[in-house]
């Protein structure tokens, strides 16, 4: 027999289930907000198919899980950052940085709607950053090899936006590719063990002498030893 109490419990249960579903809507039912909304009405179509449901379709909501990506600067894979930048900097789509990034020349460079700032690049610095990003996204240089390995700008340059005179220290390269002794062991030629670019008679040599991120790399040894046969990744051969 159905009692008033049974009916009341039924409606309470329905209300609970309805409320739970309402708070966990499919991603596509949430309109995009923040910098993404200028181009995307919703984000479901541009996210991986296995992406979990979220409560909002905004960059702020993404940052709650992808916090390392928004802070940047770690020498490790950053799938969130690389996916966004590769999608917005390429042959089909090439957006100006300021569509997503807040920028005050010489004062700050961050993300719209976020309090993060990665330094104070000037206008010529930002132009160089844009050119480097284009190379990172679609060139045959070392930077693009890093893009394919899900390493973004911060992976090499740290948290600060790279300025025109910025370089990358050996310690940064070796945090992924080192230690130097291990790297040298990998590149020792079997036929000519003394011809090892990572164990040079010149002593400590900057990695960037040979490995150019945003242009063709070149083997420094060949400046003197032009009879050597030595190749280098992203060397433009």
Using one digit for the tens of pLDDT, what is the confidence trace for 6-35?
434 333 334 333 333 333 444 445 678 778
Q: Has residue 162 got a pLDDT over 50?
A: yes
**Per-residue pLDDT reduced to its tens digit, 187-216:** 999 888 889 999 999 988 999 999 999 999
Q: List, as one string, the DSSP characters of the chain.
A: ---HHHHHHHHHHHHHHHHHHHTT--GGGSPEEGGGGGT-S-SGGGS-TTPPP-S-EEHHHHHHH-HHHHH---SS--HHHHHHHHHHBSSS-B--GGGTS-EETTTEEB-TT---B-----HHHHHHHHHHHHHHHH-SSHHHHHHHTT--HHHHHTTSPP-TT----HHHHHHHH--HHHHHHHT--SS-TT--TTS-TT-S--GGGT--SSS----GGGGT-TT-----TT---
Which of 101 and 61 is assigned the larger pLDDT? 101
Q: Has residue 180 got a pLDDT over 50?
A: yes
Q: Which domains does the chain have, with CATH numbers?
A: 31-47+56-166 (no CATH), 178-237 (1.10.1130.10)
Average pLDDT estimate for 163-181: 94
Amino acid 23: pLDDT: 38
Average pLDDT estimate for 173-182: 95
């Amino acid at each position: 027999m159905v009692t008033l109490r049974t009916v009341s419990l039924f409606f309470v249960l329905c209300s609970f289930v309805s409320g739970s579903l309402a708070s966990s809507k499919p991603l596509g039912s949430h309109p995009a907000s923040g910098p993404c909304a200028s181009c995307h009405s919703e984000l479901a179509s541009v996210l991986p198919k296995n992406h979990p449901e979220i409560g909002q379709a905004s960059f702020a909501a993404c940052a709650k899980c992808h916090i390392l990506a928004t802070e940047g600067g770690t020498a490790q894979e950053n799938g969130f950052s690389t996916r966004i930048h590769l999608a917005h900097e390429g042959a089909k789509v090439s957006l100006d940085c300021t569509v997503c990034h807040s920028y005050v020349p010489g004062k700050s460079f961050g993300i719209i709607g976020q309090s993060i700032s990665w330094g104070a690049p000037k206008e010529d610095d930002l132009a160089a950053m844009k050119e480097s990003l284009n190379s990172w996204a679609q060139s045959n240089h070392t930077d693009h090899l890093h893009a394919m390995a899900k390493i973004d700008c911060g992976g090499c340059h740290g948290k600060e936006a790279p300025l025109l005179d910025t370089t990358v220290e050996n310690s940064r390269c070796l945090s992924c590719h080192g230690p130097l002794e291990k790297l040298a062991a990998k590149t020792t030629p079997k036929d000519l063990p003394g011809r090892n670019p990572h164990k040079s008679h010149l002593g400590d040599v900057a990695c960037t002498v040979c490995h150019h991120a945003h242009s063709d790399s070149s083997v420094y040894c060949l400046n003197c030893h032009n009879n050597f046969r030595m190749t280098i990744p992203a060397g433009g051969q």
